[in-house]
Amino acid sequence: FLGESADLSKTFDFIVVGAGSAGCACAARLAKTGASVLLVEAGGEAHRSALVQQPRQMIGAWHSEIDWGFRTTPQEHLLPKGRVVELERGKTLGGSSAINYNMWVRGAREDYDRWATEFGCPGWSYDEVLPHFRSIERVSKSPDASYDPAFRGDSGPIAAGLLHPALPEVNDFITACVSTGSKKTGDYNGANLEGVSATQFNTAGDSGGRQD
């Protein structure tokens, strides 16, 4: 894909290959320094199609021209034995973030700490990556969740939070879980991951649309 402003006669300070989530962020950060940047993407501009803009329809994007269609080799230890797992990967501006459900889940503190201490990844402990998580998000207030500013950001470029109003089935599921002894968590991206909660999304406000 070549954007309308692409001039291949130019030379560039940096060439970023792949316009997925990481590639776009990397290119934008470099451009803000004043450097000239060429961002190269194998796919097209499907990120503006109705199919991509509504995450609820994302299954329709799988196995399409905007999905690389990767598959694993047969897995001996999966049932049924030898099962092949499909790995949907986006082939368009936005990459795989254009064909996913937009769920906003950081993961467990313990995993980050293990990467730093056990797997030789300095700088990847939870306390070290937390400022970056906070800097990229703009969490929206919700009557169904309480957000601790020590863990959540409110001025970043990516909107994140719960969708409103929640589907009745979501509330029914949470009530059922609590009735069996599960704890309801106010924010699984905050201090404590454990518990039951509605899913947070990085979508464009309450409409649930995908962000550019």
- Give the C-alpha distances (Å, rounded to integers) separating 68 from 41, 45, 81, 211: 13, 15, 25, 21
In the predicted structure, residue 212 carries a pLDDT above the cut 70: no
In the predicted structure, residue 91 carries a pLDDT above the cut 90: yes
Phi/psi region, residue 175 (left: phi>0; alpha: psi -120 to 50; beta: rest), is alpha
What global pTM score does this model have? Answer: 0.78
- C-alpha 96/C-alpha 201 separation (Å) is 15
- CA count, 13 A, side-chain hemisphere, 2: 5
What pLDDT, in 10s, does the model give residues 128-145? 999 999 999 999 888 778
User: Would you say 159 and 203 are in contact if contact means Cβ atoms under 8 Å apart?
Assistant: yes
Report residue 177 as tokens: 């879980």
Q: What is the DSSP letter of 180?
A: T
In the predicted structure, residue 21 carries a pLDDT above the cut 80: yes
What is the H or E stretch that residue 159 is in? strand 158-160
